[in-house]
Each structure stands twice: as C-alpha cells, then as structure tokens.
Structure 1
Amino acid sequence: MELHVWGTPSEISLLSPQSIAIYWYMSLCVPSELYEVVTSCNTDLSLSGQLPTLICHGEGTQYDGLLDILRYLDQQGFSLDTGLLKEQRAINEGLVLYVEDKFQLITDYCLFLNKSNYEQYTRSLYSKYLPFPMQYNAPIVARSRAKLNCERIGLKVEDKSQVTEEMMKNVPSVSKIHRMKYESMIEDKLLMKNSVTNMSCLRQLNEYVGRVLELQAELNANHEGDTLGLFGENRLTSGDLIILAHIYVWTRAALPDQFIKTFLDKSYPHISTQLEHLLQERINPATDHVQIRLPSFTESPNLFNSIKHLVI
C-alpha cells in the first residue's frame, strides 16, 4: 500500500491535518512492512482532488480522503477502534464527522485567512512541494476554497484591494507622498480587521473545543485528571487522532501568528501538555518505523503529469 500525503520525507505538512492524522493512525495500527508513505503532494492522484489517498496496487483500488481510508483499513482489520462497544463506536464516528467539519473551519482560517500566517508561512510552503509555475496557482485556489468554507460561519476577511477601494473612493487624486500615507493607513486597517476576525475565530474555536471536552469529561467521569483521549488516556481512537492533528497544526511554532496557541495555553493549558506527551510517548516512537520516500517522476506534481491527467 502507498499512502500519498502533503509534505516531505522529513515532515508531513501542516497544510493537511488529514495527512498528519492518517500518517499517525497507520503508524499505530498497520505493520510498517505493509505500506510506505509517499510525500507526492500530487492531488491529481486522488479522484477527489484531495490528499491523503491510499493506493493498493495489488488490488487495483484506491481510497481517497481520510474517512474512506479509515473505513478501508477497518475492513482489513487495521483499526484503533477495535474493541469499542457499539455505542462507543457510534460516538467516535459522530465525533470524527464533527471535527472534520468544525475543526477544519478553524484550520482553514488559521492557515489561509489569517494575514500573517498566510503571507509569511502558508503561501511559501507550496514552493517546497510544487514546481514552477504550479506553486503560484495552488495557494490561490486553496485560499479561495478556505474563504468559502469559513464564510459559512461568518468568518470573512477583506483583501487589500477591498480596503483600498473603501478608503480611497471619496478621496481625490493625491500626490505620491499622500498616497504613501494612505498605503500605511490601509495596512493599519487591514491589521485591525485581522485582529477583529481573529477574535471571531477564537469564539468559534472555544465553542468547538468546549463541546469536545464536555463529551470527553462525560465519557471519562471516573478518570482523575485531564486527558485528550475520548475513552481514556490509555486508548487512542480515530477521533482522538483527528482532534490531535488539527490542534498540532494550530499550535506549531512555525506559524508567525500564535493567536490560537496563546488562547489554548491560557484557556485550556492541559491540551498542549497532553499533546506533547502523546507525541513523545506514543506517536513519535511509532512513526520512527514508517518508510517515507519522495515521489517518482510519474507520481510527482509536474506539468507533464498534470496535462496527462487532464487528457486521460
């Protein structure tokens, strides 16, 4: 089996919490000799146009997206959810769907709509993963998709062109000096608007994380102390790993704007502590045994393969 994801052999990309989650998941429940991870960053390999995708050459089949891959692995007997009672499975499956919807909204905002993170981090990632000229169009497409998704809950950002039009529509023709002054004012207004939208994002985040933690508290009523495990600290489920993957993305030091990490550390201090503990004790030791390789030419996102994909 080949698991195709966003990233490089040294790091699965923050662009895709789904790639991170399934990478962790398979490392914990699938023998490492049965599969390899390919950091192809090639969405053309996926029928849905999204990574991750799992290709099973022996069967001539493939499974696109996190949920389809989880279902296939479960059918093959590779599952972290084995042993869950019927009611627990239903709760876990519901949580997976909830997190994939709600937490993805926060991830989209954090990576693509937050001005500092997008301009200083996210956009430049594509030059690491894609060749010229594909590296320029891909972040624009991804940002447009993220904007549409976030608009569902009222998280909207204004681009510089929109703010410029708003500020300049009643201003007569000005000198170069005055225009430079207005440029500075426009940047200040963009930063102010970004701060306001950050607060809206945090309100939504607080609601979503709060609901998940309430559910975890109910299911772990007899457990002392905080845990990020849905059914106890000694068990990790598919739902747990999807939650952890999104939180992992939000709290990485590589992001220039640490507004989510700052909020979580203040409001839910146990989250970062538990995440780092699970990474060190459970997840990293498992991923150390996973085979990861670069894509071959036919697996790579290059113009030749892209044209071939369109023709075929």
Structure 2
Amino acid sequence: MGVVVHLWGLDGKPSIISPESVALFWLLNDIKTNSEITVVFSNNTDLSPNQELPILINGSKTICGFSSIVSTLCPSNSALESALLQFAQDQIGALTQYQLYLNRNNYDGFTRKIFACLLEWPLWYNTPLKNRSLARQRCETLGYFSHPDDQDHVDFNVDQVDDLVQSKAYKLTKASKARKEELLKSARFNLQFMNRLSDQLQSWLEARDKLEARDQVEPRDQLLAADYLVWANLFIQLELPDGELVREHLNRTLGKERFQEVVERCKKLSEAGSQLEQREPSFTERGNAAMSVYYALRRMVAL
C-alpha cells in the first residue's frame, strides 16, 4: 500500500483555507520521493489524531502537520532550516489565521462561504466557528474585536423598544455609535496586522538570506520546505477579499522587486499542473455527520 496524503481541497486543487495543505501540495509536486504518493482531498480532520490537516498515512502510521510530514519525506540536518520552518509555521501562519477568521471582511466574505463547498451540513457551519475560536487564541497578542457570532456580542435590535428605559431615537443613536466604534476597532487591528506581517516577513527573509550566504548558493536557487509554507501563506492572504490591501502594504514595505519575486513564485506554483496521483475520498474518509459521530465516539472510548 502506498502513501496517502489527506488535504483540504476541492476539484483537484488545495483550498486556500489551509496554508499547510497548499504548501504541501506545491512541495510534493516539486520533489522526488521514494514512495508513491496519492493525494486525497478529504477535508476530514477526524482522520487526524490532532484534528488537523494535512496528514500522511502510510499503513498503520499517521503523520500529522506540514513540518512533520516534510521532515519525514525530505529531512534536513540544518538547525537554521528547521528554525525558518518553525518561524513560518508559528508566526506567519498565525497572521494568516487572523486574516481568514478574525478579519471581518475576509471571514464574512470568504471563509464562512467556502466551508459550505468543502463540508456537509452541519460541519460547514460549525467548523469555521471552531477554527475562529482557535485563531483567536493564537492571535491574542494582536487584539480582538467583537463579531456577531461571539458569545459576548449582542446585536442591537431597533424594533425592541424599551419605553421604560430609553427612547427609540436614543437607541438608534447608540446603535450607530456602536457600529462606528466597531469599524474603528477593526481598522486599528487590521493596521496592527499589516505592521506585524511586514515585520515578521522581513525577519524571515533576512534569516533566509543569511542561510543562502552561508551555503554560498545563488539567491533563491535552493528551495526549502519553509519557502513553500511562506509562499502559501502569502498566496492565501493575497487571494482573500482584503488581499489588495495586503498587496499594497507589502509592495511598499518589502520593496517592489522583492515582493514581485514572491508574487511570481506564488503564481507559478498555483498555476502549475499537478503530477500527483489523486483519488476521491471513500465514505469513511469523507467529512460527514455520520462519520464525525463515529470518530467522536472512538475518541471518547480511547480516553
């Protein structure tokens, strides 16, 4: 039995809902391995012990996460390479989670909707809420603004008039003020995100240049697993509804030439045809309510 890799994706392509799925799909198409690899876009996190994709299954062995999978397929002996990968995963990856789940325009305009294509009901409704909560924990240092699906958020209904407390006109004024305050908070946190993104990316690029100088290779000739992960994160951020704002900011802060190199690399990888064998997920591999209950019961029994 060959190696099977499960990713987030649809119609033969990885979904930009998952930077690790995009990065691994790109990397697998570029490298040569001793194993026959089959890609399955199952969109089913229940297959994973840590409830995340991607995963690699080889017989009875399951490997979870981008870094663990690439360490198995193409191990590196360089501590700096490992540090670059960890930085990309922890720091830049957290910022992509912010854009996907905590940026209101992106979340309402894209993230919520794409899960309806990737999953069946009720998973397509619950999964983005769960991921949003996890993203909030990862991005707590960025700050957070209220959103209609937060437990502590209360929508103001202008039709519910409490004449004993305040007039309808006062309530309307209060609601308008609250909306303006929320927009200001959103703008402030998004600006904070932009600054963090350019700072973190600049730090990563400087470390990447030091590695190239140490190895005495031509710039960007030696590709690392960390490169694919950074490109995938940036590709996703540029594809989201607020992607043009990210594009303008990075073009200004990184410099037009350096930023254009990254954009061209992302474009080339995203448009390249896949050389990997693919198959449809089986019923037990597919994310659906029945199998979700089954895997939940298995986890309970294992406790």
Match of 1:173 among 166, 174, 190: 166
Match of 2:84 among 92, 95, 112: 95
**Letter matched to residue 227 of structure 2:** D
1:27 aligns with 2:20: no
RMSD: 2.9
Partner of 1:302: 288
Rounded Cα–Cα distance in structure 2 between residues aligned with 1:220 and 1:256: 33
Partner of 1:207: 199
Q: How many angstroms does 1:222 deviate by?
A: 9.8
Q: 1:264 to 1:61 in 2, by over 3 A?
A: same
Match of 2:144 among 156, 167, 181: 156
Rounded Cα–Cα distance in structure 1 between residues aligned with 2:22 and 2:176: 39
Rounded Cα–Cα distance in structure 2 between residues aligned with 1:180 and 1:231: 62
Rounded Cα–Cα distance in structure 1 between residues aligned with 2:241 and 2:4: 30
Q: How many angstroms does 1:154 deviate by?
A: 3.7
Match of 1:277 among 264, 275, 292: 264
Q: How many angstroms does 1:271 deviate by?
A: 4.4
Rounded Cα–Cα distance in structure 1 between residues aligned with 2:144 and 2:288: 33
Q: How many angstroms does 1:163 deviate by?
A: 6.9
Alignment of 1:158-307 (within 5 A): 158-160=146-148, 172-175=165-168, 179-220=171-212, 232-252=219-239, 254-256=240-242, 258-268=244-254, 269-279=256-266, 284-285=271-272, 287-307=273-293
**Letter matched to residue 174 of structure 1:** S
Q: 1:271 to 1:8 in 2, by over 3 A?
A: farther
Partner of 1:131: 120
**Contact 1:219–1:231 under 8 Å retained in 2:** no
Q: How many angstroms does 1:140 deviate by?
A: 0.7
Secondary structure at the aligned position of 1:241 is classed as helix
Rounded Cα–Cα distance in structure 1 between residues aligned with 2:144 and 2:82: 30
**Contact 1:9–1:294 under 8 Å retained in 2:** no
The answer for unaligned runs of 5 or more in structure 1 is 224-229
Rounded Cα–Cα distance in structure 1 between residues aligned with 2:212 and 2:52: 35
**Contact 1:116–1:257 under 8 Å retained in 2:** no
- TM-score, normalised relative to structure 1: 0.82
**Contact 2:142–2:189 under 8 Å retained in 1:** no
Rounded Cα–Cα distance in structure 2 between residues aligned with 1:303 and 1:116: 29
**Letter matched to residue 118 of structure 1:** Y
Rounded Cα–Cα distance in structure 2 between residues aligned with 1:258 and 1:264: 10
Rounded Cα–Cα distance in structure 2 between residues aligned with 1:119 and 1:245: 21
**1:3-52 alpha-carbon deviations (Å, 9 max, x no partner):** 11111134311121111111111111135981121111100000111000
Rounded Cα–Cα distance in structure 2 between residues aligned with 1:73 and 1:290: 15
Secondary structure at the aligned position of 1:3 is classed as strand
**Letter matched to residue 208 of structure 2:** Q
Partner of 2:11: 9
**1:117-171 alpha-carbon deviations (Å, 9 max, x no partner):** 11111111111111111111111110001011111x24222235757699x9xx9
Rounded Cα–Cα distance in structure 1 between residues aligned with 2:209 and 2:30: 25
Alignment of 1:2-151 (within 5 A): 2-30=4-32, 34-57=36-59, 60-74=60-74, 89-151=78-140
Secondary structure at the aligned position of 1:255 is classed as coil
The answer for unaligned runs of 5 or more in structure 2 is 159-163, 299-303
Rounded Cα–Cα distance in structure 2 between residues aligned with 1:42 and 1:277: 31
- TM-score, normalised relative to structure 2: 0.84
**Contact 1:5–1:39 under 8 Å retained in 2:** yes
